[in-house]
Structure 1
Amino acid sequence: MSITANELAARRCSHQTDALDEAAIQSHLAALPDWKVDGGKLARSFGFKDYYQTLAFVNAIAWVIHAEDHHPDLAVSYNRCGVKFDTHSVNSGKGGLSINDFICAAKVDAVFAQRAAS
């Protein structure tokens, strides 16, 4: 059964020790078509008009991801923000992707969509 981006965004993160298998990763990627797996991390780049809009987005997602206690790597430049999620606690501490990465990616997408709509 496939999951939607809205269903992912409605979920909450919880402690994870098991990485998702490739089939689950591909299923979740189908719900988040702008994201990709890059170097074992779930990644997306967001574009903006200027530095102010970029920082406003970073501040908005910081609030959301802090509430989930699942923090991504961010690469911030003048008009772009790269976001990469992975879960350090899976695979016996070796890292990988868990459901938390997809939950937070969906929440970040929702923030971006809300910003774009206003």
Structure 2
Amino acid sequence: MSITASTLAASRCVQPIEALDDAALASHLAALPEWKIEGGKLARSFAFANYYETLAFVNAIAWVIHAEDHHPDLGVSYNRCSVRFDTHSVNDGRGGLSTNDFVCAAKVDAIFAQRANA
């Protein structure tokens, strides 16, 4: 079964967490083409019309990522929010990327798409 954004968004974060190998990273990235690996983290920036829209997005994703218990680094400015996921507990505590990062990224994308279609 191929990995898609919709299958990732419908998934839940799992335990135990294992780091993705290079082949798995490539297939997961293909499912979420707007996301990039930057500094070992799965990263994307989202643009908004104003601060209110930016904060509404941050609040919406906060609820979802809290439910998944997998929290990203967020950068919030007037009309932009950057989201950066990684999994601190993989690779013997050195960090890396896991399926959980991609599950949450897909959920963040779905929230952004829903906002754009409203």
TM-score, normalised to structure 1's length? 0.97
1:74 matched to which residue of 2? 74
Matched positions, count: 118
1:98 matched to which residue of 2? 98
Summarize deviations over 1:33-75 as a string: whole Å, max 9, x none.
Answer: 0000000000000000000000000000000000000000000
The letter of the residue matching 1:22 is D
Q: What does 1:1-118 correspond to in 2, within 5 Å?
A: 1-118=1-118
SS of alignment partner, residue 97 of structure 1: coil
The letter of the residue matching 1:91 is N
- TM-superposed deviation, 1:14: 1.5
The letter of the residue matching 1:15 is Q
- TM-superposed deviation, 1:90: 0.4
Mapped contact 1:87–1:101 kept (Cα < 8 A): yes
**Identity value in percent:** 76
Mapped to 2, the partners of 1:81 and 1:15 lie a distance apart of 28
Instruction: Give ranges in structure 1 of 5+ residues lacking alignment.
Output: none
Mapped to 2, the partners of 1:17 and 1:71 lie a distance apart of 14
Once structures 1 and 2 are overlaid, which stretch shifts more, 17-26 or 41-50? 17-26
Mapped contact 1:44–1:84 kept (Cα < 8 A): yes
The letter of the residue matching 1:115 is R
TM-score, normalised to structure 2's length? 0.97
Mapped contact 1:87–1:98 kept (Cα < 8 A): yes
